[in-house]
Every structure is written in C-alpha cells, then in structure tokens.
Structure 1
Amino acid sequence: MSWQQFKSQYLVRFWAPLPAVIAAGILATYYFGVTGTFWAVTGEFTRWGGHVLQWFGFHPEQWGYFNVIGLQGTPLERIDGRMIIGMFAGCIAAALWANNVKLRMPQHRIRIVQALLGGIIAGFGARLAMGCNLAAFFTGIPQFSLHAWFFALATAAGSYFGAKFTLLPMFRIPVKLQRVNAAAPLTQKPEQARRRFRLGMVIFCLAIAWSLWTLLDSPKLGMAMLFGIGFGLLIERAQICFTSAFRDLWITGRTHMAKAIILGMAVSAIGIFSYVQLGVSPKILWAGPNAVIGGLLFGFGIVLAGGCETGWMYRAVEGQIHYWWVGLGNIIGATLLAYYWDGLAPVLATNYDKINLLDTFGPIGGLLVTYLLLALAFAAMLWWEKRFFRAKPDAQVTNLRSTS
C-alpha cells in the first residue's frame, strides 16, 4: 500500500464505528492496567472549574467533593489532566488530517440556550453519579461496579425524555427557503487540505514527542498522554458519540452505535478482569440514588445539549461553536455539583454501599453476570430495532387509510 492510499483510507476518511469502539474498549483496558485508573474526563473538568474559582479568590479545595476526587497540582501533574491534553491533541490532529476544521456558528439562539443549559444539566448529573458516559458507563461497567448499571439504565430513560422534550415546537428553527436558478458548484481547496494535513502531522508529532519526553521523568503521566492521543484519534475519526447512541434509539430506531458500545464493553471486561486478578483494584463507586438521579439528569442533558463529554470535545476542535457552549456548560454544571455535594452526599451517595460484582458473586460469577447483563442489553437493542421499524410501516398504513 502506497503512502497516498494509506493517507486516504486511514487518515482522511472516517473510520467505521464498530471496530473503533472495540479499539477504544481495548485501549481503555490497557489504560487501566498501566495507570491504575479508568478512562474518564468529567472529574478533571470539575477540577478545572475548581482552579478557575481559585483564581478568583475562592477556596474550593475545602469542599468535600474535592476531598473525594482531589484538587492537588495542575492538569500537567495529574494523570487525567495529561490524558485529556492528549485527547485534545489527537482530536485536533485527526480533524486537520481530514480537513474537517471550519468555524460553524449555531443556526439560532435557541441552540445556544440548549447547548449551555443541556451542558450544565449533564455536567451536574455526571458528577452526582461520579462519572459520565465513560467512568459511569463505558469504562464503569467493565470495572464491575453496580453503580454503572444503575447509571446506564437511568441514562437511557433520561435520554428518552430528552428526545421527547427537544421535539417540542419551541426548539424548531424556522427554515428560510430561497429560490435558486442552479446548484452551487462544489469547491475543492486541495492546497488548503495539504496545509492542514501537514499542520495536523506537526501537532501529532509534537504531542507524541512531548509524551515520550515526559516518560523519562514520570512514566505514568507520559503513558496517560499517549493513551489520550489514541482516544482522541478514535473518537474524532470514528465520530464516536454516546449521545447519538441513546438518542437514536428513540428518534430513528437506529442501534448501530449502541450495539458497538456494548461490544466494546464486552471486550474491555475480560481485560479488566485479568488485571484485577493480577492485583489492580477496580474503581467501585456508590450504588445509591445518586447513580439513578445522576443518570436521568445526564441522559436528559446530553440530548438537550446535542453532545456528551466525548462528543463535544471532538466537535469543538472541528470548529462547531455550539459545542464550545456545551463544554462550558459541562464545567459549570460539574462545579455546581461540587459546591452542593456536602449536602447531597449523605442522602444520595455516601451512606450506600460500593458494590463490586466480583465480590458479590465471586470472580467468575461476577464476570458471568456482567456478560449476561451485556447480552441482555444487546438482545434488547435487537428487539427494539425490530419493534421500531415494524411499527413505522403499520403507522403509515393506518394514516393512509384514515385520509382515504
């Protein structure tokens, strides 16, 4: 295969979601084994909100929430911080390779309201549940934490209500029709594409070099950044969006991304299980009402905003201004939860048990229960897809009969 063929097929074109999500699951497994933590982003975004408050003279380091997740150091000195820096670098490089960077303003002011409000609700819900679509779902379930299953089911329900809410007339943007005499010609800018590809390669190489340099002094931080670059490449090139996985269930009946995510978790679970048997402790969190309420808020918020924590990151670097507002809302919502945590925690979270399925059912039993639940979730996707598309033709026939 020539360089031009490789470039066109793997660096410029979008990647198929299924193998990309499975690759993300495998990468998340090794990330856990190497760093001892899971692939997660909203915890670090909450710390960023804490740092901003510190700049203005506040003392969030005294809040109970930051005693749980920590606020020491800077993003450059934390595993999650370095990983997220790597993710942004990977997203930017991948977007430039494909010439997929263009400033795009929201079509209407209502979209900005949706983005900011939805982001705040999602950020608040994610941190109430101690994780977002990653730590409390995609990487939480393979960690064998019962709270992740509570969060996943609640997120599905929240996304249903979010989908119904966003279909209300108030969110419909008026369409202006213009008469044209001929279609506008497609304009290609090959020189621009070449310049951006080269810039993307420069950013990619600098990020790799920075990661390798960091390895010399702090191996875990360097590895975290390398993993982050890989995560960023995957989510941008394959357009991995957990929001679409949930939202599409209710609006279009499509389950392709949802099924890919389930398979990705299934692949990751066996790897996490192996590391746990070698002595790496999984991240188990409270299986209390916080996971359910947080999931409901998160599912509703991501659909209202139009993007989740991974989705807004790669879309923001592509130049979609809408998702800058989503990201800002996420940080605001997460920081608000941190402020109110001391009052909410005893009632909703900390008085409940942290339930590890491997302890509850034994190592093999916990693994089998996890795979059984994933198989049931996959079967539910197949059932829903068939039901959704079988109901559509029936509804169309009924409508035709009623109008004839």
Structure 2
Amino acid sequence: MKSLIQPIFTRYWNPYVVLLIAGVLSALYFGLTSTVWAVTGEFTRLGGDLLLLFGVDISGWQYFDMVHLKGTTWNRPDGWIVWGMFIGALIMVLFSNSFKIRLPKQKRRYIQGLVGGIIAGFGARLALGCNLAAFFTGVPQFSIHSWIFIVATGIGTFFGAQLTKTRWWKGKPTLTRGAAKPSNVKKRVIQPYVGGIIAILYIGLIIYFFATGQKFLGLGAMFGLFFGILIERGQICFTSAFRDLFLVGRSVMAKAIIIGMAVSSILTVIVISIYDLTPITQIAAMSTFVGGVLFGVGIVMASGCETGMMYRLMEGQLLFLPVFAGNIIGATFLAYAWDHLWVYNVLVKGGSKINLLDSIGPVGAISATLVMLGVLYALTVYWEKRYHRKLAVKRGMKAHVS
C-alpha cells in the first residue's frame, strides 16, 4: 500500500492528466453553481473589504457595484474557492514533506515581485479575468473576450520574457566561496501529520457548510480544495507555459492547458444545453487587450500567475508574499481607476459582450472553439520546433568555429 500511495505525494503529477481533470471539474463546478473557477475577482473584493475595514467609503465605486461586493470574503463561495486553493496546495506540500522557507537570492526580487503583482492584478481586472476566468475557464464559456485576452497575454509574456534577460533585471551575479557542507541531520517527517490535521479540519468545515444548508459555500470550499491539490501536484503555472516556450522552447505546460480547455469546452456546452444555463460573458473591448498585455508582463515580472503564486507561497517561497499583496493592490487600484480615472470611458465603454453560443449556436460555437484551440496548439508546436532549430544552428556554428 505504501508503494502505491507514496508516489502520489513524492512525485509531481503529469500536467496533461492534471489539466484534463481540472477541465472536467471546472465544467462540473459551472453546472452546479452557474459560475466559474476564478481568482482575481475575489482579490478585488478582498481589497474592498480591507478598504471598508480602514473606513474608506467605496459605496460610489462603480466597479465594486458591478462585481457585487456583498458580505465578506468568508461568506462568499468565490472567497472559499480561493482559500480552498491555498489550503489544498498547502495540504499537498505538507503531505510531500516539502515545505521549506525559501528566500530569493537577490533582495531586488521582492520589489520586482511586488511591482509585477500590481501590474498583473491591475491588468487582470481591467480585462475582467485572469489566467482562469479570461483564459482556462473563459474559453469554455465561449466568450470572445477570452480569445482577445489569450493573444494579448502571449504578447505581454513575450516582452516580459525579454525583460528578464536584461542585466538591469538580473543584477550582478552573486559569487559564493567554497561548497556547502553535507548535512548529517536526520530529516524528521512531521509535515505529513500536520497536513493530515489541516485536511481533517477543512473537510469538517466543508461538511459543516453542507449540514447547515450553506450549499454554495460548501461547493466553493470543496472545489477550491480540489483545484488547490491539482495546481500544486501538477505545478500548474500559466506563466511558465508562455515564458518557457519563449525562453527555452518547452511546450508541455502550454499544450496541456490547451487540451484541458478543449475537454472543458466540450463538457461545458453539454452542461449548458442540458440545464439551459447562461454562459458567463464579459465585455470584449480595448480594455481586454490592454489588460491582457499588462497581465502577461506582470506575471513574468512576478515569476508566477495567480495559480503559480498560490502553490509556491504554500511551499514557503517568501517572494510570493509581495506578489500576492501586489495582486490585491493592483486589482483594488483598478476598481478605483474604473470611474475615478476614466478607465471605463476610455477603454471599456465602446466594447460589448459577445458570445459564440448566441452568435453561431452550440454546434458552431464548439466547432469554432476546437478549431481555434487546434490552431493555438499548432502554433505552440511550431514555436517549440522553431526554437530548437535555431538552437541547433547556433550549436553547429560554434562547433564549426572550434
């Protein structure tokens, strides 16, 4: 039994399998709740809660009215899906005995992470969605804004990747003298027990929600737990999907995300057709493109998107504390800028909500979506091969010179 269970916690899971499961679960969550797996919307509401706590009057802020700021983050399903993701990721980190406080080698990374988080949070909410609601769960909702966001995020990530190559970004190399001495201290396996206690308490909370008639809080907490487990075990990060493709020609994560979206799209259109649900459609406007570019640049600067930030923070990587704070600051500032700095009038007002289901029907919508995902998959493979061809040419030239 130990030989069967141990690999679950000691090895990371295949990203294709993880994202297939995530696609299925996200479609199921939509069918049960009529809402989608999302993150940064709750960051905005959390920012609003904090402002209210400090006595700031946000009653006239149109953005908060639009995202339905009601109650606190603890009594909203959207809040529990986010906290459930943190807890699910933490439980898996502890079960694998891999929690460790980690500090970045250069202190400048804290500032870069904070700034990147602010830019990413601002961009995500400007586009009305992040790598989930405007990407992984947005495409299966057949909202056109998701495709604009994907293209824009790809552009932003490309330029963000170029930024990280500069000496200004990397700083001076750190030189160390000698080698580290081997440690003879025996590793005590305490973390799995702590993870087990947290898991029991959290499952008890989910049962409490359902037992007291708080069905949607229970669903949010339960699915958040599932998604947290998946993103940590699969090391799912949309930043690495784009960045690794541009920097090192690695496409596994990008291809897995595309396949996951394809499966989720098929299941979602079935759910919509059977239960006559209304898909979640956001405004497609200049704000979607600008927000996507900012989001792409920001997540590279921060070294992680929202999902990547979550599980890395739970692993003990302290860099992602300022990234988390930056996301909340950026999302909250966008809520202020929406009407106070004319963002809505300049970038959003001219847009409209466009959904493929309304435009070309269920068959046309799923067909068009699968074709576009197929094109995106082909472009990913092409870029990977292009990178490795260039690398082979460079190696050949060096060998010829030598």
Map 1:309-328; keep pairs closer than 5 Å: 309-328=306-325
Distance (whole Å) between structure 1 residues aligned to residue 158 and residue 185 of structure 2: 40
**Aligned residues between the structures:** 397
Quote how far apart the aligned CAs of 1:62 are: 2.3
Q: Is the 8 A contact 1:286 1:350 kept in 2?
A: no
Match of 1:224 among 217, 220, 225: 220
Alignment of 1:134-283 (within 5 A): 134-173=132-171, 174-180=173-179, 184-185=181-182, 189-191=186-188, 193=189, 195-216=190-211, 217-277=213-273, 278-283=275-280
Q: How does 1:252-401 map to 2 (within 5 A)?
A: 252-277=248-273, 278-342=275-339, 343-401=342-400
2:95 — aligned with what?
Answer: 97
For 2:62, the aligned partner's letter is G
The yes-or-no answer on 1:121 pairing with 2:116 is: no
Provide, for residues 306-340 of structure 1, a one-character-per-residue CA deviation record: whole Å limited to 9, x for no partner: 01101111111111010111111110010110000
Q: Tell me, what secondary structure is at the counterpart of 2:282?
A: coil
> Is the deviation greater in 54-63 or in 108-117?
54-63
For the structure 1 residues 311 and 61, does the alpha-carbon distance in structure 2 shift closer, same or farther, using more than 3 Å as the test? farther
Partner Cα distance (2:349, 2:27) in 1: 27
State how far apart, in whole Å, the 2-side matches of 1:320 and 1:75 are.
24
1:169-219 deviation line (CA, Å, top 9, x unaligned): 012242213224xx733657443x2x2101101111211110111012211
The change in CA–CA distance for 1:188 and 1:241 in structure 2 (over 3 A counts) is farther
* Structure 1 Cα separation of the partners of residues 134 and 195 of structure 2: 32
CA distance in 2, matches of 1:11, 1:329: 31
Gaps of 5+ in 2: none
Provide the C-alpha distance between the structure 2 equivalents of 1:16 and 1:212, rounded to a whole number of angstroms. Answer: 30
1:135 and 1:175, CA in 2 relative to 1: closer, same or farther beyond 3 A?
same
Aligned equivalents of 1:266, 1:93: Cα separation in 2: 29
CA distance in 2: counterparts of 1:25 and 1:146, whole angstroms:
19
Aligned-partner Cα distance in 2 for 1:95–1:175: 29
Contact 1:61 1:71 in 2 (8 A): no
Tell me how far apart the structure 2 counterparts of residues 368 and 145 of structure 1 sit (CA, whole Å): 14
Structure 2 CA distance, aligned partners of 1:349 and 1:148? 15
TM-score of the two chains, using structure 2 as the length reference: 0.96
8 Å contact from structure 1 (residues 276, 282) kept in 2: yes
Structure 1, unpaired ranges of 5+: none
**CA spacing shift, 1:164–1:54, aligned 2, 3 Å:** same
Whichever residue aligns with residue 24 of structure 1, its letter is A
| TM-score calculated relative to the size of structure 1 | 0.95
1:40 Cα deviation after fit: 0.3
Alignment RMSD: 1.4
**What letter matches 2:226 in structure 1?**
G
Question: 1:83 maps to what in 2?
Answer: 81
Structure-2 separation of matches of 1:313 and 1:350? 33
Aligned partners of 1:129 and 1:295 also within 8 Å: yes
Using the TM superposition, give the Cα deviation of residue 11 of structure 1 relative to its aligned residue in structure 2, in angstroms: 2.5
**CA displacement at 1:399 relative to structure 2:** 4.1
